[in-house]
Amino acid sequence: MELLPTAVLEESVLASRLKAGSAALFPTDTLPALAASPDHAAQLWTIKRRSADKPLILMGASPQELLEQISPLAFEDAKLMAKRYWPGALTLVVPFSGIVAQALNPGAFTLGIRVPDCVLTRSLLKQSGPLATTSANLSGDDPSFSAEDAAACFPGLPLLGPLPWPTPSGLASTVLTWQGVGRWHLLRRGSVVPEL
């Protein structure tokens, strides 16, 4: 394997870098991700050259840490979906309170949340805490499928090791938005086909 133009860091070192404000690259079950701590999420729009009106996703290691901040009205519905499909390629857009929602989706009161089905990444998330994420490609470009692709897109950003990363599905996550008690709306069809 050829050398990548960036640092490949083990989980604990990368978690410390993320907490200190660095952005980073890691695998998921769908596509590689570009990530930062919620406190430093604003840099992701700049790095990716993405419009700030396109929200970021909050990824966590467990449903509990993501569900605790959602609106009580949506809690039971989200908990049921999480139990059925997480870890997995399902993003739930739910009413979300606090500064994290404003950091990842400015001016709105909803947030996309997900627990990825990638053991390596969940291990990192246990140490870093939930992270603001987006796909690891420049806005409008084709998605990255490997560590090499992601590093070529964002040279200089640290990568989660070890390499090679697990092979992703290559399909984006399915996105459901909560519409009210017991009601979900399919925003994007992806690799998961949820029962609604």
The answer to the question of residue 135 being in a domain is: yes
DSSP structural state of residue 181: T
Residue 5: pLDDT band (50, 70, 90) is: low
Residue 111, pLDDT > 70, answer yes
C-alpha to C-alpha distance for 52 and 45, rounded to whole angstroms: 6
Residue 158 covered by a domain: yes
Position 19 confidence tier, pLDDT thresholds 50, 70, 90: very high
Token pair 């499909």 is found at 85
**Percent residues over pLDDT 70 in the chain:** 97
- 194 domain-assigned: no
pLDDT tier for residue 86 given thresholds of 50, 70 and 90: very high
Helix (H, G, I), strand (E, B) or coil at 175: strand
Whether pLDDT at 2 is above 70: no
Residue 21 Cα to chain centre, angstroms = 16
Q: Tens of pLDDT along 31-83?
A: 999 999 999 999 999 999 999 899 999 999 999 999 988 999 999 999 999 99
In a domain, 2, yes or no: no
Report the share of the chain in percent with pLDDT over 90: 89
Rounded to two decimals, the pTM is 0.94
Is 195 part of any domain?
no
Residue 193 resides in a domain? no
* Residue 97 binned pLDDT confidence (cut-offs 50, 70, 90): confident
Q: Does the pLDDT of residue 3 top 70, yes or no?
A: no
What's the number of domains the chain is made of?
Answer: 1
Residues in the chain, how many? 196
- CATH number at 35 reads 3.90.870.10
Supply the range of the domain harboring residue 33: 8-188
Q: Is residue 196 part of a domain?
A: no
Q: Where are the beta strands (DSSP E) in the chain?
A: 8-9, 24-26, 33-36, 57-59, 90-95, 110-114, 131-135, 159-160, 174-180, 183-188
